């Protein structure tokens, strides 16, 4: 087990990619704190599966666009596990529309969740990782952040922003033993895609 004794936070761990990431981390030995916004029952099922593997797990309701709610999740993970070693920024949303019809609210909400939400968790984890001279940050972006997609200017911009953020953050934290990477999946059949 590659991650025995490590402690992870996975945002959006109640569904899709986040559920898979949570379970794989646990299979490799990590304790996992997962967040959810609307899907409490699903999050609790994932938590139960992780605990059945002999790992510790907590699930915390969180709107990742809230700076204070992200801080509360990090504190909950620290209280449950003693430390945090891994952050998987996965939670996200889309609210599609062509740019000439897109409402300001559509643009703002997607940027708040998909880009600011990642910042919120990184802001609270980065000092811990820097001080302990160890940490892993995995930012889930999208192929659409690299190539763009018709009707998704807000989503594509937010995911492209994550790519730039990841590159800059890797330069800031690399000297402290912290790895920062982005993963850009293509289409994966998840609830969000459906």
Based on the residue annotation, tell me whether 155 is a catalytic residue of this protein.
yes
Q: Give exposure, 40-67, as e/b (b: 16+ Cβ within 10 Å).
A: eebbeebbebbeeeebbbbbbebbbbee
Cα 156 from Cα 94, distance rounded (Å): 9
| DSSP states of 2-59 | TTTT-EEEETTTTSHHHHHHHHHHHHTT-EEEEEESS-HHHHHHHHHHHHHTT--EEE
Angle at 93 between CA 16 and CA 139, to 5 degrees: 70
Q: How far apart are CA 142 and CA 183, in angstroms?
A: 7
Percentage helix, strand, coil, to 5, in the chain? 50, 15, 30
Which residue among the candidates 36, 118, 134, 155 is catalytic per the annotation?
A: 155
Would you name the residues annotated as active-site residues?
155
């Amino acid at each position: 087990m590659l991650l025995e004794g490590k402690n992870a936070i996975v945002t959006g761990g109640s569904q899709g990619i986040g559920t898979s990431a949570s379970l794989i981390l646990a299979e490799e030995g990590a304790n996992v704190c997962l967040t959810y916004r609307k899907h409490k029952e699903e999050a609790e099922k994932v938590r139960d599966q992780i605990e059945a593997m002999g790992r510790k797990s907590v699930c915390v309701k969180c709107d990742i666009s809230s700076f204070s709610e992200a801080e509360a999740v990090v504190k909950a993970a620290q209280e449950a596990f003693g430390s945090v070693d891994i952050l998987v920024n996965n939670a996200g949303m889309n609210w599609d529309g062509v740019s000439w019809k897109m409402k300001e609210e559509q643009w703002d909400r997607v940027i708040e969740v998909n880009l600011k939400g990642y910042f919120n968790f990184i802001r609270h984890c980065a000092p811990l990782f820097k001080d302990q001279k160890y940490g892993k940050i995995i930012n889930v972006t999208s192929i659409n952040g690299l190539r763009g997609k018709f009707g998704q200017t807000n989503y594509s911009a937010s995911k492209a922003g994550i790519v730039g953020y990841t590159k800059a953050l890797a330069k800031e934290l690399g000297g402290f033993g912290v790895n920062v990477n982005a993963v850009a999946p293509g289409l994966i059949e998840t609830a969000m895609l459906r």
